[in-house]
Every structure is written in C-alpha cells, then in structure tokens.
Amino acid sequence: MPQINVSFGDNFRDIRDDKCYYVDKTGLIEELLQRVPPTVSLFTRPRRFGKTLTLSMLREFFDISKDSGSLFDGLCVANNTDICNNWMNKYPVISISFKDIDGSSHEEAIKSLVNIVQEIMFQHAYLLHSDKVSPFDKETIFEFSKGNSQIPQFKIFIRVICRALECHWNKKVIVLIDEYDSPINKSSETNSYDEITVIFRTLLSSSLKDNPSLKFAILTGCLYIAKESFFSGVNNFKCFSISNYSFSDKFGFTSSEVDKFLQVAGFQDKKNIIKEWFDGYIFGKTTEVFCPWDVVQYIYDLQGNSDAIPIAYWKNSSDNAIIRSILEQSTFDIRSKIEELIHGNSIEVEISENLSFSELQTNTNSIWTIFYSSGYLTKALSKIESTATSLIIPNKEVKTIFIETITSWFKVVVHANILPLLDALWKGDVKTVHEKLNDILVKAISYYDSAEKFYHGFMTGLFSATDLQVRSNRESGDGRPDVVVTDRKGRSLVFELKRAETEAALDAEARDALAQASGKRYAEGLYATQETLRYGISFWKKRCAVRLLGKAGIGA
C-alpha cells in the first residue's frame, strides 16, 4: 500500500515544504487574474472547505517579501508564465484572520482584535525603520504595536498599514481577510451583536472603501451579510457564493480530484464510502463537491487502519451552535421541513443572498440561507432549475449531525417542559396537562413516523429522562396499559394512548382510551400505595386530547 504524506494543516508553505499531498487549487489565481480583479472579492463557502488554505496560497503567490517560486513548481499556475512573471511575489500583502475573534462581548472582541493588530505590526515591523514611511504613520504604527486599543485610529489600522506599505514598496497592497463574518456570527448568539457589528463595519469600510493604497482585497466567510452594510459604498465589489458558476470548483474536492487522491493513496476501493459520507454538495449550477476536510481525515485514518469506518469529522470542527439557536426559535413550518429533510426528502424554499443576522427570528428565508451557506444543506441537483431553491441534506455525515444535534436540542426542550407537566399530571389538572403536552408536541422535532407506535415511544421517552419508574405494556388488571409511571412516593400515573385519524376524532378517541383503562381495571395490580390517576390521551399529528377518570376532558 503506497504511503503518502497527508496534512490537515492550512498553511500552504508548510504543506509544500513537507512534501504533503496537495490538491492543486492554484487555478483560482488564473481565474481571478484573467480579467481585472474586482476591488473586493468575497468568497463564501462552508467551514472546512479550504478557505484558509486558499488565502495562505494566495499570500505566498503575491507577497513581495517572499520568494515562493519553488512552492508552485509543478502546479497549474506555474504553466502560466505571464501571470507568474507579472504577479508572483510582486505586491505587498496584508493577511488577517478573524476566525478566532471572541464575539461574546464588545470588550473581548476588542482584545482579540488588538492581538491581531499586534501580530500584523510584528510581521511588518521593518516599516518603523523605513525612510519612505511618514513619521506620522510610523508613530501610529508604533502605538498599534503596543496594543493601545483606545487610540482613535484603531479601527483604521488596515488603511494605515496599507499606506505605509505602499510608500515603502512603491506598490499598491493586496489585502486578504479570512473568516470576515466570524465575529458577527458569534456575536449573534449574545447581546453584543450591535456593538460588534459597528466595530467591524467601520474597520472593513475604512479598509476597502476608497482606499487609494489598495490593489485589491479578497475576503472569505460562510455568509454574505450584506444588510449590515459591511460593503456599502465599496466600488467594484463581487460576491462569489456557492451559487455562482465562477470558481465553483476551486473550493472543496471535485469527484475527479478525489479519484486521483485515492489512486495515489491506494484506496480506490473506498470511493463509494467516501461518496456516501462526504459528497453531495452542489456549487454553482452542477459542480459536485466533496468536503475536503473529511476526505483528508478519512484517508489519514485509512493509512493507519485500512478497515477504518468514517465518522462525522466535520461535526467536531464546525460551530453547530447556530443550528440550536435557530431551532429554539423556529416555527412549526420550519420544524416540519426539517423532518422532511431528515426523512431524505427535499424542500422548496426561497434563499436570500442579502442575509442579515438580525432577521433570523423573523425571516424564514434567512434561516434556510444559513443552513445552505454553512453546508448543512445543498441544492437538489435534479431540481436546480426550479423557481424556488430545492434543498436536501447532502450526505450521511451531515444527516448524522442533524439527528444528533436535534435530538440533543429535543432533550433540552423536554426537560424545560417535563416538570410543569408532571406537576399538572399529579394534581389532575387536565387543562394544564393538555397545554403542556401540546406545547411539547409542537416543539418536538420528530424524525420518526407519526404512527401510534411513535406516540407510545414519545410518552415513554418523555418520562425516561426523570427518576420515575416507567413501565411500558406491562400486564396489569385485565390487560396491558400502554404506559405506567410510578414515583418514589408510590403514586402512579396510568396512560392509555390512541391515535386519531382526524382532528375531529380526537376527543372521542380520548374517551375510548379512558374507557379501556377503566374497563380493563389497569389500576389494579399496581404496586402503588398512594393515589393512582388514569389518563386517556389521543393524538393526531402535533395535537392531543386528554381525559382523566372522574374529570371532564380537554379537547384539541
């Protein structure tokens, strides 16, 4: 079995110097430069699709302070001598990553940004000794290097460094910003959203809008958050999203690239497994893309054990908190669509390219755009010409993430509702039982069939997370009650469950359930020493009717 060096890293120079296998994406440089590049190009792709490695590659190619010729030997762009002669190591470069900025508060975001500024200053410390840089800019840069976040110029540090670099090199500057949307993404889950949005809107606007020292800028992120006006007034701006035809094969691995990778590694027989787990993304109109992070991880595992089984590698490398935050505020329509997706079906939705995090709670389209842009959903290839966008879960890995995340969220919802529900059950408060149970049904994300067996499992599972004794279909009296719950005090709850065929039949089915519990003497034979309450409950889709022996029932 051939052994090749496989790297999970995102530093282009390290990968090339260490002779690691590299899927050649340098064609992006040619596609970018075949025309006059936009002043600002934004590439939006899901996490772990090679954005950071791509920017590292671009930095090595353009940076005037480096000698990168040997790194590109044998790669696609090296065959284009005109581009290499005119662009390779010809321009000063500022390279910044926002992915580690803490968005939990305004203060923490500033601290993180200060660290980034100091790192940039360290990389370009030679500017302090350049006789071509103005004393004013030198003084400002020196203040930046000390980490003084209170100076007024702090939010324009990129513009200041660009000016100093242009003066020193007599060349305009290329700016590379990785994960530009990460601080906003993180702050959307906290109360710091508005403050952090202002910080980074000012920073990006001052850097990209009418910056005379800027050659061009390339940004990456998961989302195009246009409505926060990050790019308002920026001339010659272009967003290359996963929907665009341009650059559709420049992030992620295409099928042919995976074939070549597997051939070199000696694992051609694993193609179907890799396709099932990590393929399924559609970029542009028809470009089929594999998640590169997963493919590399799995091939690495195979080198240690040729029988290795794939796992959801992406789950541990991506921030899935956004799914939970969306589901906790989701509507019935959204949850119904999620059920369809987990069943393997597609859904028809409108995708909004002009995304705003602040609209998440009110604009359903923003929710589906986040799932789509973040890689949790992709286009259904057979229906891409539809007026609306047809979305599906791309592969087995993401389906696993959906199910595990939703199941975890569901348990949280249950715990939040189970205590008041139990209190109402023990008190015989039928109205509150009905309200709480209906509330749980509406919020529950069911990826099972809504047959009678589902409702039986639903009620059993509802109480299984508690310290109550739960018995299902155990003999009692003259039959087998569906569910019996007993607490430490010896009190028991007996449930007979029915599934109604229509909403109108709910109350009648609840009456029949209660009559069965009473007629077959389900309460007899229990080990309860205290009170026993018998409930008849009927279900229809996300609704229920509840009756208690000796009390009036509550309908749907």
* CATH label of the domain that carries residue 485: 3.40.1350
Q: Are residues 327 and 441 in the same domain?
A: no
| CA quadruple 401, 407, 412, 413: dihedral sign | positive
Domain count, the chain: 4
- The answer to whether 197 and 146 have CB atoms below 8 angstroms apart is no
pLDDT band, very low/low/confident/very high, at 227 (cuts 50, 70, 90):
low
**Please, what's the largest Cα pairwise distance for the chain?**
99
pLDDT band at 526 (very low <50, low <70, confident <90, very high): low
Residue 505 lies in a domain: yes
Residue 154 confidence class, pLDDT cut points 50, 70, 90? low
Residues 268 and 373 placed together within one structural domain of the fold: no
* Domain boundaries, position 93: 12-240
pLDDT (tens digit, 9 = 90+) per residue, 461-475?
778 767 788 888 665
On whether both 223 and 112 belong to a single domain, the answer is: yes
pLDDT of 447 = 43
pLDDT score at 528: 46
Q: What is the token pair recorded at 402?
A: 């959906």
In a domain, residue 4? The reply is: no
Range picked from 40-54, 453-467, 527-541 for highest mean pLDDT = 40-54
Q: Which of 348, 363, 394 is the last residue of a domain?
A: 394
Residues 487 and 534 in one domain: yes
Residue % of the chain over a pLDDT of 70: 81
Q: In the sheet where 93-97 sits, what is the strand order?
A: 93-97, 173-178, 214-221, 40-44, 237-240
Per-residue pLDDT at 285: 84
Residue pair 3/9 in contact (Cβ under 8 Å)? The answer is no
Residues 185 and 284 in one domain: no
Question: For residue 316, is pLDDT > 80?
Answer: no
Q: Note whether 456 and 417 are same-domain residues.
A: yes
Q: Which residue has the higher pLDDT, 258 or 528?
A: 258
pLDDT of 415 > 90? The answer is no
Residues 6+ apart with CB under 8 A from 328: 409, 413
User: Would residue 248 count as lying in a domain?
Assistant: no
Average pLDDT, the chain: 84
Residue 150 has pLDDT above 90, yes or no: no
The pLDDT value recorded for residue 355 is 66
> Does residue 448 carry a pLDDT above 50?
no
Q: Is 353 found in the same domain as 267?
A: no
Candidate from 67-71, 98-102, 374-378 with smallest mean pLDDT = 98-102
Average pLDDT of the segment spanning 143-158? 72
Predicted local distance difference test score (pLDDT) of residue 480: 77
304-307 long-range Cβ contacts below 8 angstroms, 24+ apart: 306/1, 306/267
Give one DSSP letter per residue of 23-85, joined into a string.
Answer: ---THHHHHHHSSPPPSEEEEE--TTSSHHHHHHHHHHHHBTT---GGGGTTSGGGG-HHHHH
539: left (phi over 0), alpha (psi -120 to 50) or beta: beta
Q: Does the structure show a pLDDT above 80 at 320?
A: no
Are 207 and 279 found together in one domain? no
User: Is the pLDDT reported for residue 502 higher than 60?
Assistant: yes
The reply to whether 178 falls in a domain is yes
Q: What is the CATH number of the domain that holds 195?
A: 3.40.50
Given this model, what pLDDT does residue 402 score?
A: 83
Looking at the fold, whether 90 and 236 belong to one and the same domain comes out as yes
Same domain, 289 and 326: no
